Amino acid sequence: MALMARPKEQAARRQELVAAAGRVIVQRGVRGLRVKDVAAQAGISAGLVSYYYPDLGDLLVDVHEHSVDRFYWSRMRLVEGVPDAPGRLRALAAGGLPSGPDDELCLTLYELHLHAARDRTHAALMTSLFDREVSLYAMVLQQGAAAGELHLAAPALDVATNAVALEDAYGLHVVARNSRVDAGRARSLLLSYLAQATGVDLGDEDPRATPVGARDAQG
């Protein structure tokens, strides 16, 4: 094998494997992840997969870490450019739900989150994403309240925690194709909760008009 690649190439190869493993997880689930599927998906030999990841568990952790970061930073970016608190809340709500039942990033995250019930490392990653999302919401809520734009019906941290919990729960129904809770209904229920908790009408325009797709555009 033409191994001993330079560090930069090694990092690039690991990234390819993380992306390939993510796709395999969407198809086969966390427990169905096998070296040969990752190899096939990445178009390299099983031996090379095992060279970069002698332990498949480490690959799983890297996939989870990568998915968590990608999801979080895309939400962060959606909020950054928006000047007013209601607009920031709308942007947050748009980025917190799957775009539809085939949203691969969300599917991967749900698979890995459930794995958290059985594994401490994955539990820590799930918690870290939850905490960061809650903080993001709490920050937007506190700033909005301080500026007099929002009137909170409960402590910002409670509203923020409930908002992220609603996203997680509805997201699961969206990817499970529950006909009663599709992406549109999930969005409208989340916005209705946020409106109720902030005293501000957050509207309910077509989710496709808001930058959910921005998440898919970046790697």
- State which residue, 52 or 197, has the beta carbon closest to a copy of itself: 197
Return the structure tokens found at 193.
């909760």
- State which residue, 10 or 162, has the beta carbon closest to a copy of itself: 162
Q: Is 161 in the site for a copy of itself (CB under 8 A)?
A: yes
Q: Is 192 in the site for a copy of itself (CB under 8 A)?
A: yes
> How far lies 136's CA from each of 113, 122, 160, 175, in Å?
20, 21, 8, 24
Site track for a copy of itself across 98-137, x = CB under 8 A: ---x-----x--xx-xx-xxx----x--xx--xx------
Stretch that binds a copy of itself, among 10-18, 39-47, 58-66, 156-164 (CB under 8 A): 156-164
**Contact footprint for a copy of itself (CB under 8 A):** 29-32, 101, 107, 110-111, 113-114, 116-118, 123, 126-127, 130-131, 153-154, 158, 161-162, 164-170, 172-173, 175-181, 189, 192-193, 196-197
